[in-house]
Structure 1
């Protein structure tokens, strides 16, 4: 099958959105580390760099892998969604359901789109 099915486009959008959010959080953490009063500047900057790297990786997976219909992009994308589920659960249990519930919905939607038969067919063909 040539082209990109809707499920693959949805998966690409979900992973790209997650990457953009991670980059935004990384920038925010870096600014806070440099302008605020962190307990440990090196730890605060390491957390910011980590968020930026995760965001860049997710954007690479979305743009370089999924959008270009490259099969290697699905595994890291599914893994990212799986990693987000315990984060969402922890947010919900910590009294922040307004962040945890949408995160869980996005992660489940991402898994569903990544594992949908049209996505599998586009990435792997007829087998």
Structure 2
């Protein structure tokens, strides 16, 4: 089956989100190691969470979406749904420069993940 552009865009969006989460996890881990965090336990937990989420999203993007595996769509849609409240929180916290692009990416991700060509590529003619 040929991979539609919508599925390729979805895989790229999820992979970028994974790279960002991975990068933030590494950043928090390095800051905890070289700095003096208020709570080392929280810093290590946040770093670990970022690393796990990042690695998970990269696996979903590559092993699921890019390889046309139908299981990849559910965690991808769920990730976009989780990003929306984070983006809205950033906008409400006077950080629109971060929140608005994040919201746009999440909505674009949902759009391409739920687009008919993506559904057809992952599920064929099933309904």
Task: Tell me the residue number matched to 1:110.
Answer: 109
How many residue pairs were aligned? 126
Tell me the residue number matched to 1:18. 17
Which residue pairs with 2:49 in the alignment?
Answer: 50
RMSD of the alignment, in Å?
Answer: 0.5
TM value normalised by structure 2: 0.98
Q: Which residue of 2 aligns with 1:94?
A: 93
**Deviations 1:59-109 (CA, angstroms, capped at 9, x unpaired):** 000000000000000000000000000000000000000000000000000
CA distance in 2, matches of 1:98, 1:33: 26
For residue 40 of structure 1, report the CA deviation from its aligned partner. 1.3
In the aligned structure 2, how far is the partner of 1:26 from the partner of 1:47?
A: 7
Q: Could you say which residue in structure 2 is the equivalent of 1:63?
A: 62
User: SS where residue 39 of structure 1 aligns?
Assistant: coil
CA distance in structure 1 between the aligned counterparts of 2:86 and 2:65, rounded to whole angstroms: 24
Displacement of 1:43: 1.4
User: SS of the counterpart of 1:51?
Assistant: helix
Per-residue CA deviations over 1:2-43 (Å, capped at 9, x if unaligned) read 121000000000000000000000000001111111111121
Aligned structure 1 segments of 4 or more residues deviating by more than 4 angstroms: none
Unmatched segments (≥5 aa) in structure 2:
none
Aligned to 1:4: 3
In structure 1, distance between residues paired with 2:92 and 2:39:
28
Query: Which structure 1 segments of 5+ residues have no match?
Result: none
